[in-house]
Amino acid sequence: MSDAARETPLPPSLIARLAVAARYAISGVSPDAWFGPQQPLTPQAPPEVKGRQFDYPFGVNLSYIPRTTGGVSFAELRALADALPLLRTIIETRKDQVAALSHTVRPCDPSADADAAARAKVAAGFLACPDRRHSFSAWLRMLLEDMLVIDAATLYPRVDRAGRLYSLDVIDGATITPLIGEDGRAPEPPDPAYQQVLHGVPAADFSADELLYLPRNIRAHKLYGFSPVEQIALTVNIALRREAATLDYYRSGSTPDAFATLPKEWTVDQIRQFQDYFDALMSGNSARRRMTKFMPADFRLIEARQPPLKDQYDEWLARAICYAFSVPASAFVSQVNRATGETLRLQAAQEGLVPLKAWIKAALDHVIQICLDEPDLEFVWVGDDAVDPLQQAQTLNILVGAGIKTIAEARAELGLATQPKPEPKIAPGGQPEPAGFGKFNPYHDERGRFTTADDAVEPGAAQPRSATRPKGVQVATESEPPEEEPKPEGAEEGKLETYFNPDTGRTATVHAGSGVELKSPWINLRDLQSPTYLSAPEAASEPGTIAEAVAPNGVLPGEPRAELGSPRTMPASDDPDAAAAVYILRAYNGQQPISVRGGWPDMFIAEMPNGAFITFRPAGQASAQTLSTTATVEINDPVVNALNGDRQLKLKFPRN
């Protein structure tokens, strides 16, 4: 074979290197390009290194003493927090604020059954004493101390022999060293992820599911958290040195309060003798210090200028330290009026307290859902302390009244349990009540108002009374089932008509286009807001009729044991607004009001011919500060007032 035909195979290592080089080559970059970027260097690390979290030091797991890889040590952070009184008071204030909050455990799904509510009570009972030694507030203060000072809050879930959670113990986070895998992250169980160091030696290993290591301010290039105390360590050092200088000023001092001149002819011995005499004269007798003193001739007193013990820089230090913990600095600075102080308080609550509550909730949700094995339960804070409770109640009242939120959503926002759904009512004959009856109707909102009606009449607008009745339909009595006719021409499917039966107190809602109308004793409640019905009386009745209807034979309605002058409770119903409206119709007793302000289903006030006033407040608007589920009727009639201890009668219509 000739030399020209001879072939030399490439070694496998060369082929591999060429493949790797081609893999990382940038297409379009030529080596002979004019001042080109050139190809990057070929990676030298093995493929499994790709995606490492950070460039940790070699053998970092061998540095078992916590926080020795740089920064401020745990001992120094705790010394700073304890040495500066201002910093310690701020930390304690933040702990007090969080520990004073109310909390509960509830199902994640508001529509959960009673079993979930019972399990939530058991979980809440466990959190009442998590470590079986301290109350929840005391336990939480220990956890917050390690989070605010060293950002190494640690929980150890202790289990019994059956594997169930026995206690949730707080461990000193300064004894825990995080371990990492090759990718720079905590190893997955069952590999050790944390190591506890006691007396300078590794004492125990924990996997990620055996220990809850909860740093709040995590950074990708660090193994440990970044606490607020560490963030202001330099500022705290400056404040400590100013405190030490002030203490030295009061303890020893370098400048006397004043200098006094003596005759220049005096010798040093004479000056020393006079100094000793004067010191002995002034010491030990406070009253004598105020007496007149006779001095030699040519005497002159020179007062020394005292250094400022507090200036603007001290206020700046206080502001910086308070800002690190999102605590208002109004207690440490001057010239803060009430409006500014309130703004600072709300800002501190929203920027500091709310994130802190979220951190605690995330930790306790893990405990409840993983350690207690209750994945459908959650830890919640009751109420919103970032806003005024009165403002929160008024806001929720408005949102519920406008139909933007339901009562269940409002209760969930307040951290309250959802109300149980009532059992379906059984109509006479053993059949379930029709869907159109009662409050739980798809066309009702949470206050029992009819949200799909598009023919509501504004108060004061003119409309004939006949316009409130469906046209072209068959009238049926209560004992007879309504007969349906073909849908009248022009009827709208979404329009609703609502009726009440004064004899039974039942509610019926029918579509205007369904061809159904209910006649007497059924009353169309839209008549309550019809201007023709609530307008000038056609024939005024005799005075006293209202009193006779409200209190027949002088007997007031409501609970028989109710005290005079106090609100009297009427029988509960599924729709308190409806029950109140029926009572008002009975109280009219055939009379027509002289004037009406407002209209049902909202609040209205009716003035009667005999001078009486009837006020209706629907459920949800009975109080501006609470989400009431009780409708109220107030009757201000002279005769009724006399029966009620010279006070107007107030009736409450509660919900079942």
Strand partners, 604: 598, 616
Range in 48-62, 154-168, 562-576, 617-631 with the lowest mean pLDDT: 617-631
Share of the chain above pLDDT 90, in %: 30
At residue 191, does pLDDT exceed 80? yes
- pLDDT tens string 92-135: 999 998 998 899 999 988 778 888 989 999 999 999 999 999 99
Per-residue pLDDT at 484: 44
Per-residue pLDDT at 624: 41
- Mean pLDDT, the chain, rounded, equals 76
Tokens of 124: 């809440």
Per-residue pLDDT band for 442 (boundaries 50, 70, 90) equals very low
Considering the entire predicted model, what is its pTM? 0.55
| CA atoms of 132 and 139, how far apart (whole Å) | 10
Q: Among candidates 83, 89, 99, 87, which has minimal Cα distance to 229?
A: 87
Q: DSSP characters for 94-112? A: HHHHHHTS-EEEEESSTT-
| CA atoms of 322 and 93, how far apart (whole Å) | 11
Q: Which residue has the higher pLDDT, 401 or 478?
A: 401
Per-residue pLDDT at 99: 92
Tokens of 171: 């461990």
Per-residue pLDDT at 82: 95
Residue type at 263? P
Say if CB 587 and CB 544 are below 8 A apart: no
Range in 68-77, 122-131, 241-250, 278-287 with the lowest mean pLDDT: 278-287
Q: Among candidates 628, 601, 546, 637, which has minimal Cα distance to 650?
A: 637
Phi (first) and psi of residue 550, to 5 degrees = -75, -45
3-state secondary structure 369-382: HHHCCCCCEEEEEC
Q: For the chain, which residues make up each domain, given as ranges?
A: 387-420, 545-653
- pLDDT tens string 193-230: 999 999 999 999 999 999 999 999 999 999 999 999 99
Per-residue pLDDT at 2: 54
Per-residue pLDDT band for 517 (boundaries 50, 70, 90) equals low
Per-residue pLDDT at 486: 42
Greatest mean pLDDT among 5-9, 485-489, 556-560 lies in 556-560
Q: Can you give the length of the chain in residues?
A: 656
At residue 627, does pLDDT exceed 50? no
| CA atoms of 584 and 531, how far apart (whole Å) | 16
Per-residue pLDDT at 134: 94
Q: How far is CA 628 from each of CA 404, 511, 617, rounded to the nearest angstrom? A: 17, 29, 10
Strand partners, 202: 197
Per-residue pLDDT at 429: 46
Per-residue pLDDT at 595: 78
Say if CB 316 and CB 238 are below 8 A apart: no
Tokens of 50: 């790709």
Per-residue pLDDT band for 26 (boundaries 50, 70, 90) equals confident
